[in-house]
Structure 1
Amino acid sequence: MPDDNDGKFRAQNWKKIPEQKLHKMNSVSRSRYTAYEEPSKQVAEIQEATKKRLVEEKKARALKNAPPTMEELVEKRQHAQLIGQLKAAEARNRIRIMRLRYHANRGQEINHLISCQPSALKAVRLQALVPAKSDLTEHGDTLEKLSRDRVEALLNDNTNLMTQRIS
């Protein structure tokens, strides 16, 4: 029979059993009877609260799973591009630092090799052949006239009298 609940059929007990008889029934019969009774006020409130919570969760899930808007997609793409640019800049900086460190270490090693030569003539030759800094630009003659005369005198000293180091 239709009831007041939106025209839907609702099962109900046609016989009304008094409370005393209900307590005397065995548990199976009592549960069959109470299954079709109206729930108590407290249970009905809890059921209503549960239904509201489920509806809200369903709405929240629908909003969460909704496709992103065009503005969100554009913002996400710009954010990803910015992150990519930052990562590229960090990588360039790391490479630059590594290159500077390599050249500094190389220069120190060459200077150490030059300083460890047994004679000044060999040190000057090594310094001329293997510069501590590798300059890509060609510089002209950087020696002054007095310095050039001194270097030529050292290079022309075949007996190593001017360059012999005391050991």
Structure 2
Amino acid sequence: MPSLPPLDDDGGKFKPRNKKKVEQHDLKKMAPQQRSRYLAYEDPPKEVSEAMGATKKRLLEKKRLIMRINEDLPEEEVDERDKHAKLIGQLKAAEARNRLRIMRLRYQANRAQEISHLIACQPTALKAVRLQALVPSYPDKDDRRDRLDKLERVRVERLLEDTQGLITNRIH
């Protein structure tokens, strides 16, 4: 006969538990992640349970206090307070989006500057052109068109064809 799953004290709901018991000294020997996974399915210690209960009690009291305050206020004022809270939330979300945008732009600028520096530090023009072609400063946004005009294209092709480095003599 299969054993029944462990039931919780409140409501008879299923409560996951560990299948085997691990001794305290074996628990200390476990790696932190393994210990964390094991302890996730154990009952919390007594002081933690008491702290959780006290926190739940404080939250319920605060909720009741807010409900009493809202019952005493006229409906127009409650609506105004809700609109104000919604507006504050929208402003905070806009500020967060702006911070992310600024961080993204700063990262892209730093990356482009670093790549440009790497290209400038290449020992030959041929290596610099190849690096610039392979590692663009800014990521492409599905824009694969040729960015060089006719004169630049001729110069690049001439550099690529110069296998002996006669056109550009850089001092090593």
TM-score, structure 2 length as denominator? 0.56
Range that drifts further, 135-144 or 122-131 = 135-144
2:117 is the alignment partner of 1:115: no
Residue 76 (structure 2) pairs with residue 71 (structure 1) = yes
Q: Whole-Å Cα distance in 2 between the matches of residues 157 and 80 of structure 1? A: 67
1:104-129 Cα offsets, whole Å, 9 max, x none, are 10000000100111111101100111
Q: How far apart, CA to CA, are the structure 1 residues paired with 2:71 and 2:130?
A: 76
Q: Which amino acid aligns with 2:107?
A: Y
Find the counterpart in structure 1 of residue 9 from structure 2.
none
| Bigger shift: residues 129-138 or 107-116 | 129-138
- Letter of the structure 2 residue corresponding to residue 84 of structure 1: G
- Residue segments in structure 2 that go unaligned for 5+ positions in a row: 1-68
Tell me the amino acid that sits aligned with residue 120 of structure 2: S
The residue matched to 1:164 in structure 2 has which SS? coil
Aligned to 2:141: 136
Deviation (angstroms), 1:91: 0.3
2:111 is matched with which residue? 106
Give the unaligned 5+ runs of structure 1: 1-63
| Residue number in structure 1 paired with 2:94 | 89
Residue 65 (structure 1) shift: 9.7
Identity of aligned residues (%): 63
**Number of aligned pairs?**
104
Partner Cα distance (1:121, 1:66) in 2: 77
Once superposed, what is the RMSD of the aligned Cα atoms?
Answer: 1.9
Q: Higher Cα Rg: structure 1 or 2? A: 1
Tell whether 2:170 aligns with 1:165.
Answer: yes
Instruction: Give the C-alpha shift of residue 157 in structure 1.
Output: 1.2
**What is the CA-CA distance between 1:166 and the residue it aligns to?**
1.5
